[in-house]
Structures are given as structure tokens and as C-alpha cells.
Amino acid sequence: MNDINWWLDVFKILIPIVTVLLAGFFALHRMKQNVKLEARLKWKEEFRNRIVDFMHTESLLNNKAIFYDLEKEHDGNHEKTDEYLEITYKLHSIYYSIDMMLDFNDLRAEALNESYKSILDDINRQVESKPRPTNEEDEDYLGNFYEWAKQIYNDDKYIDSVL
């Protein structure tokens, strides 16, 4: 009888200790999951905002390139050139901030980079009044950039790999 009481006393002590340890483990595990989820959501929000800024700035730069091309022969005003250069610098800055968020071991990130280069080449052709090559006439560079960005944005495994 004495042995049974001793075991009961041991279980009375062990059960609360084990319960506290298990609850602590589950709370720690849940907190770790919440931190990962929060980091993923923050990354997605930053990435989305940078993509939106990039697309807006590219459109603005594209419009400035058209006006610059139309007006460069008519007046010697350098104000248009300065505006064009300022927006160009902003576009590069936004893309480089996107670039810092990417893992270039992934094909989609490489494709996004190639789309960026195509966008710049297209804008430079407009400024220099050069036509697009015939095999690229219907190419939507900004649309391609957006599609690659959207694929990266929607891939949680990719996002976890870059965090």
C-alpha cells in the first residue's frame, strides 16, 4: 500500500509539470508560426507596394519618353530632360529595392529581371526614336513584368525561401 501511495504522489507532481511543459512547447510553436506568418505577410505587402510603384513609375517614364521625343526637336528646354532623368533614377531605385527581395536562383526572378531589362530597352528605343524589332512589335513588357511578379507574390514557398 505504501508503494501505491508513493506512485500516486509522484504522478500528482509529474502531471502538472508535464502539462506545463507541453503547454509551453505548444505556445512556443504557435508563436514561431505567427512570426513566420507575420514575416511572410510583411514581405508580400512590401513586394506588392514596390511592384505598384515600379509599374506607376514605368508608365510615367514611358509617357515622359514619348513627350520628350516629340518635344526635343522643338525647343532647347532641358527641363524635360531633367524630369526624364529624375523619373529614370526613380525607376531604377524602385527596381533595385525589388531586386534585393528576390532569390536569383529561381527562374521567375531571372525572368522578372529580363522583363525589367526589356522595359528599359523599349523606353530607350522610344527616346532615340528607334522602332521596335519586328519580332517584338506586340510584346507587352510591362504586362510580362507584372505576370512574373504576380507568380512570385503568390508562391508562399518562394517567399519562405527568401525570408
Cβ atoms of 97 and 123 within 8 Å: the answer is no
| pTM of this structure | 0.70
pLDDT in tens, 51-106: 999 988 888 887 777 666 656 655 666 676 777 778 888 888 899 999 889 887 88
User: Does residue 65 form part of some domain?
Assistant: yes
User: Does residue 92 form part of some domain?
Assistant: yes
User: Does residue 33 form part of some domain?
Assistant: no
User: Does residue 28 form part of some domain?
Assistant: no
Domain range for residue 95? 40-162
* Helix, strand counts (H, E) of the chain: 5, 0
Computed over every residue of the chain, the mean pLDDT equals 84
User: Does residue 10 form part of some domain?
Assistant: no
Cβ atoms of 145 and 139 within 8 Å: the answer is no
Instruction: Give the three cell numbers for residue 87.
Output: 523619373
Q: What percent of the chain has pLDDT over 90?
A: 36
The whole-number pLDDT of residue 27 equals: 92
User: Does residue 31 form part of some domain?
Assistant: no
Cβ atoms of 111 and 148 within 8 Å: the answer is yes
User: Does residue 75 form part of some domain?
Assistant: yes
Phi, psi of 112 (to 5 degrees): -65, -40
Q: Which residue, among 32, 14, 47, 16, has the nearest Cα to 158 in the 3D structure? A: 47
Work out the average pLDDT over 105-129: 86
Q: Cite the DSSP H helix spans in 72-140.
A: 79-99, 107-127
Q: Look at 7-11, 21-25, 74-78 and tell me which has the smallest mean pLDDT.
A: 74-78
User: Does residue 115 form part of some domain?
Assistant: yes
Domain count, the chain: 1
Cβ atoms of 100 and 92 within 8 Å: the answer is no
- Is the pLDDT at 159 greater than 80? The verdict is yes
Q: Which residue, among 124, 106, 116, 121, has the nearest Cα to 142 in the 3D structure? A: 116
Work out the average pLDDT over 33-54: 92
